[in-house]
Chains A and B, each alone.
Chain A
């Protein structure tokens, strides 16, 4: 996939920058500036791809492209369970959530678009006013640095 002799080619560079984006590598400021541009453009290109694919009438490639777009924005590759920050917190959090679910403190998490959420609608956000902790914490906190994948 990656050929040393082609390292100067824009194609290889863009590929490398995107790989770094998805694997959350830290780059020096020059490269990071290039990467920012590539990532920004990639989302626009993915939108354009959705347009092209949908004018061909292909359903599943269109949905897959939309999902790839989500992953590019959040830098969360859904099919790889990578622990980027290698902190134990996320792992511990996942385990606790599992235990909580087994205790039926919470319902099973609806995930992905294959599940309808009809029954769920309406009850979702009663907590906005009720949970002082979350609202208070939310307004006080700066934008999150760590993405929580529940």
Chain B
């Protein structure tokens, strides 16, 4: 989709040759409405991630779209549909879902996800997925590196007393 938008006019013209004017217009409508979202994330407490302690992940989302956002372009869906997005933090190795948040994204949004750091000390990787509920193929996935330090003493005490 983005390739189509980024092509030179000439190359795109050649690609869409043979389509009627209406069809070309449909392609353009679909391509222009397709979600184009920039995702930035940061581990807020990156310096002090302790095993078994909470990790805060701040996510910033920004959409490239001019004007008000129309509902989802879904000609075969019976009613108006608004976009919904999920932010998911997961651990691929254990297939565990660590945190999830639903975001209704218009132009921009910020979200904070909190999850528990892995139990093992050392480098760890979790996966941040950004999933749409209405469009196919626009989901994004990022690897989040964590440097897990030893568990805090207080927590150990708590665990001992349990």
Residues of A at the B interface (CB closer than 8 Å) are 21, 24, 35-37, 39-40, 43, 46-47, 50, 53-54, 57-60, 62-63, 66-67, 69-71, 73-76, 78, 89, 92-93, 96-97, 100-101, 105-118, 120-128, 131-135, 137-138, 140-150
Q: Give the 7 A-B CB pairs with smallest separation, nearest first.
A: A141-B25, A113-B139, A144-B26, A36-B78, A59-B90, A137-B28, A106-B3
> How many residue pairs between the two chains, A and B, have CB atoms under 8 Å in the bound complex?
206
Interface stretch (choices B14-22, B45-53, B117-125, B153-161) = B14-22
Q: What residues on B are CB-neighbors of A89 within 8 Å?
A: 18-19, 23
Nearest A-chain residue to B133, judged by Cβ: A69
- Contact at B131–A134, with CB atoms within 8 Å? no
Q: CB-CB contacts of B1-31 with A at 8 A, as 1s and 0s?
A: 1111111110111111111011111111111
Number of interface residues of B (CB under 8 A): 69
Decide: A70 near B135, CB < 8 A? Known: A124-B5, A126-B6, A127-B5. yes
Instruction: A58 to B2: give the CA distance in the assembly, Å.
Output: 32
Question: When the two chains form their complex, are residues A47 and B133 in contact, meaning their CB atoms are under 8 A apart?
Answer: yes
CB distance from A79 to the nearest CB of B (A): 11
- Given A110-B2, A125-B64, A137-B28, check contact A145 B95 (CB 8 Å): no
A117 to B112 CA separation, bound complex (whole angstroms): 21
Q: A70-B134, A89-B18 are in contact. Are A105 and B28 (CB under 8 A)?
A: no
A145-B141 contact, Cβ under 8 Å, with A59-B92, A124-B36, A140-B25? no
B74–A74 contact, CB under 8 A? Answer: yes
With both beta carbons as reference points, the residue of chain B lying nearest to A150 in the complex is identified as B1
Q: Does B132 sit within 8 A of A, measured CB to CB?
A: yes
- Selected from B6, B73, B88, B142, the residue in CB contact (under 8 A) with A118 is B142
* Contact present for A134 and B11 (CB under 8 Å): no
> Known pairs A74-B76, A125-B64, A144-B26. 20 more at Cβ < 8 A?
A35-B78, A54-B97, A54-B100, A57-B96, A58-B95, A71-B136, A74-B77, A93-B16, A111-B137, A113-B139, A116-B141, A137-B29, A138-B25, A138-B29, A140-B25, A144-B27, A148-B26, A148-B30, A149-B136, A150-B4
| Chain A residues within 8 Å of B38, by CB | 121-122
Bound CA–CA A67/B64 (angstroms): 23
Q: From A36, A69, A78, A106, give the contact of B7 (CB < 8 A).
A: A106
